[in-house]
A = this chain, B = another copy of it.
Amino acid sequence: MSLTGMQLEVTRNAEGIDKAIATLTERFGDRCQTSMSLREQHGHTTSWLPNQPPDAVVFAHSTEEVSEIVKLCAELRVPIIPFGSGSSLEGHLNAPGGGISLDLSQMNEVVAVHPEDLDCVVQPGVTRKQLNAYLRDTGLFFPIDPGADATIGGMTATRASGTNAVLYGTMKDMVLALTVVMPDGTIVKTGSRAKKSSAGYDLTRLMVGSEGTLGVITEITLKLKGIPEAISGGIASFDSIADCCNTVIEAVQYGIPIARIELLDTLTVKSVNAYSKLDLPESPLLLVEFHGSDAGVREQAERFGEIAAENSLKKFEWATDPEERNKLWAARHDAYWAGLGLAPERTGLSTDVCVPISRLADCVTATHDDIEENGLIGPIVGHVGDGNFHVLVLTDLNDPEDIAKSEAFVERLNYRAIEMGGTCTGEHGVGQGKMKYLPKEHGAGVAVMAAVKRSLDPLNIMNPGKIVALDAE
């Protein structure tokens, strides 16, 4: 099995690691753990990439503790891999050179909510479900929803988005400011609670999506949104993926402020029906939702229905009942597990790309054909309002040929998206899995990223071997 093409080597500093563990154990007692089961759980578990466990897991309780740990690791040149809930998909959490997994899940307090400013301040271990439960009585909510109950710290570090992004944006749009422990242990606040600022370089956006390679995020100031007065939505079935995509394109062009619009291809619908015990019509469908006032969502839904009808709509079912709607969205969120259920003996290689919406039908259709022609099993789901879609390539990890076939498909998919003016990842991030596509997408920009990385983390201790690999130069 040769999956390591995507995993770059990072030189292992065994002596420094031993010293760090000794000091951390003395300092943090039970909060520094070295059991193999915990270490493996903190290497990468939700990815098909081989697990590379860290040497120890340390549970931090404050920004100051994080700073202390980072300073120690900087002194000893020991890698630090920040860890939230472990739900990232591209090998972000692997420890190719060993080192310390810095688990932030116990820093899980909502520090402040400012309803009048529509913002809040949270520690990085707060999960999005926890935050929304906390906010329930305020009439506000945090809209970014990547499916998994990820931590806000992890979502910030990976620039997460998900189903709601078409209306509410991604983490880059929802983060106002951060507290970051830099690779030398310095504590930096990247911004204020002001809604906008032009006071210097945008350190907030530099850190959002930096995947723990430029510092450790220890506090996040987030924008919040008012819970919409009315939500309506439904399921629109079509004969073809192209009809689905064209409906989305026209609706977006028309300016309908859709909150969520998800594409499920026929294979996904079948898997979801089986997994979630539903009886959705087994053809490509759009799951759509509108947020607004009563009159607003009615108006949006009517216009959407008209556009769908012009694109050979087969069937449109309203889900006005919140319970029914929640069931549908739960099924959408379970599409990953439903997909795995199509071939339980195989492993899911989850990959995502994003293209300009005008190229969406082309890209999804070409990808669908590619899957069929190559005899792969690969259900497709997509946040199509953004031009972002996912393929879950079911791969037999015991069969080198099958692995090679899946890898070749993923490569074609990524290059196809980039050639269509898109990106090799809309929301999963780079981690280890997408590093090899960055030169094609960013060209000379990769060297700029490396220069930034080198300037802020000259010792290359922050999540080394991810995004840009300084060791490999």
Contact = CB atoms under 8 A, between A and B. Distances in A.
Contacts of A115: 253
Contacts of A13: none
B198 A206 contact: no
Contact of A194 (B225, B387, B438): B387
A226 interface: yes
A117 B441 CA distance: 19
Interface in A370-423: 386-388, 417-418, 421-423
Contacts of A38: none
B201 A441 contact: no
A165 B196 contact: yes
B158 A200 contact: no
A449 to B, nearest CB: 5
Interface residues of A, number: 93
Contacts of A423: 191-192, 194, 196-197, 199
Interface string A188-228: 11111111111111110110111000100000000001101
Given A203-B448, A356-B193, A357-B117, A198 B455 contact: no
A95 to B, nearest CB: 20
A264 interface: no
A127 interface: no
Interface string A425-447: 11111100010011001111111
A426 to B, nearest CB: 5
Interface stretch (A39-47, A234-242, A291-299): A291-299
A455 to B, nearest CB: 3
B194 A356 contact: yes
A116 interface: yes
Contact of A197 (B192, B196, B200, B426): B426
A206 B209 contact: no
A454 interface: yes
A270 interface: no
A287 interface: no
A8 interface: no
A315 interface: no
A110 interface: no
Nearest to A445: B188
A370 B168 CA distance: 39
A464 to B, nearest CB: 15
A438 B199 contact: yes
A254 interface: yes
A441 B252 CA distance: 39
Contact of A116 (B172, B182, B206, B253): B253
A201 B358 contact: no
A115 B357 CA distance: 11
A422 B221 CA distance: 13
Interface string A293-320: 1011001000000000000000000000
Contact of A430 (B182, B200, B229, B446): B200
Nearest to A431: B198
A252 B224 CA distance: 12
A31 B429 CA distance: 44
Contact of A199 (B206, B357, B441, B443): B441
A152 B170 CA distance: 24
A186 interface: yes
Max count, chain B CB within 10 A of own CB: residue among A119, A193, A196, A418: A196
Contacts of A160: 198
A173 interface: yes
A467 to B, nearest CB: 5
A355 interface: yes
A441 B188 contact: no
A189 B443 contact: yes
Contact of A195 (B186, B388, B437): B388
27 contacts: A114-B356, A161-B198, A169-B173, A170-B198, A172-B205, A186-B447, A188-B442, A188-B445, A189-B443, A193-B422, A195-B426, A198-B428, A198-B429, A198-B430, A199-B424, A199-B442, A200-B467, A201-B452, A205-B205, A205-B206, A225-B255, A226-B253, A226-B254, A228-B255, A293-B299, A296-B296, A455-B455
Interface of A: 114-119, 158-161, 165, 169-170, 172-173, 182, 186-203, 205-206, 208-210, 214, 225-226, 228-229, 249, 252-255, 293, 295-296, 299, 354-358, 386-388, 417-418, 421-430, 434, 437-438, 441-449, 451-456, 467-468
